Amino acid sequence: MNHPDNSQNSPLGKPSEYPTAYDPALLFPMPRQPMRDALAIHGTLPFFGLDSWNAYELSWLNLRGKPQIAVMSVTVAASSPNIIESKSFKLYLNSFSQTRLAEPEALLELLRADLSAGFGAPVQIALTLPDAFSNIKIREMEGMLLDRLDIEVTEYTPNPSILKTVEGESPVEETLVSHLLKTNCPVTGQPDWASVQIRYAGPEIKQESLLKYLISMRGHDEFHEQCVERIFIDILRECKPQKLGVFARYTRRGGLDINPWRSNFSSAQQPLYIRNARQ
């Protein structure tokens, strides 16, 4: 069996250039509509919602050159015309690492301007500074856990026909949760892991079919936001609930996690954007 002589010959990741001078041009916006065209979403959106990002590797210098750190949260409406490719987001944030700023408010001003331009819509940004780190809580999603079901799985590419409803029963309103959602980045092929919460009212969805459907995403390449919209659209079309909300919390990669939420009922409250144990 052959072994590499050193790390240069191994399959380890190769070096990447990480600019350390502030550069908003590093952000790479991508239009949402082509992704929605692939899901046959045209015209008026069948949902509203938010994408919430958390960044755990944000650092800059104060005017005396001392490093500063913060955890950042960014929220943007699902109606914004663009998403931002996540590695470009990371490179952009890293470009602050040797940038001197007088105070956190100066950083916030740059972030708001640059990210609003990238997403093509206003963003909400909050910084948690080290003296408030203890306020960051961990909490799991509420709902009945689908993962308790003992099922046999044979499909690992998206198949909405797996989804079934219970016939002849009264409509239900329930919240279901699974930690078994896994997809792949369409750019790098790296795995993306998530917990997903589904709130709905309407014909009762067979729980085994829903769990099998979520697992069928396991070999699929798609951005986080598009995956959540695919789940929403597939459930809406196959199960025909009167109300539907889909919320996913992805584990972080490159110091960033992305948490899309889509809903079609106006009384729906925003989900609690609180980290779960895997984040």
Above 50 in pLDDT, residue 2?
no
Query: Do both 168 and 111 map to the same domain?
Result: no
120 falls in which pLDDT band (50, 70, 90)?
very high
Above 70 in pLDDT, residue 185?
yes
Active site residue 192: yes
Query: Do both 118 and 17 map to the same domain?
Result: yes
Query: Do both 62 and 106 map to the same domain?
Result: yes
* Domain limit, last residue, from 135, 161, 192: 135
Is residue 246 within 8 Å of residue 196, measured between CB atoms?
A: yes
Query: Do both 126 and 13 map to the same domain?
Result: yes
Task: Round the average pLDDT of the chain to a whole number and report it.
Answer: 93
Mean per-residue pLDDT, 14-24:
78
> What local confidence, expressed as pLDDT, does residue 47 receive?
97
Q: Which two tokens stand for residue 155?
A: 């499909």
Catalytic residue among 37, 114, 150, 192: 192
Domain count, the chain: 2
DSSP codes joined into one string, 133-171: GGG--B-PPPSEEGGGS-------S--GGG--B-TTS--
- Is residue 201, in this structure, part of any structural domain at all? yes
> What local confidence, expressed as pLDDT, does residue 268 receive?
65
**Structural domain range at position 170:** 144-263
Residue 278, C-beta contacts closer than 8 angstroms, at least 6 positions apart: 179, 193, 195, 251
Query: Do both 71 and 131 map to the same domain?
Result: yes
Query: Do both 128 and 148 map to the same domain?
Result: no
Residue 36, C-beta contacts closer than 8 angstroms, at least 6 positions apart: 42, 45, 226, 229
Query: Do both 183 and 227 map to the same domain?
Result: yes
Query: Do both 201 and 95 map to the same domain?
Result: no
Mean per-residue pLDDT, 129-134:
97
> What local confidence, expressed as pLDDT, does residue 270 receive?
81
- Is residue 273, in this structure, part of any structural domain at all? no
Above 50 in pLDDT, residue 12?
no
272 falls in which pLDDT band (50, 70, 90)?
confident
pTM comes to 0.92
**What's 196's domain CATH number?**
3.30.1130.10
> What local confidence, expressed as pLDDT, does residue 14 receive?
54
Query: Do both 12 and 99 map to the same domain?
Result: yes
Nearest CA-CA partner of 110 in 26, 225, 52:
26
> What local confidence, expressed as pLDDT, does residue 3 receive?
45
6-15, 59-68, 182-191, 229-238, range with the lowest pLDDT:
6-15
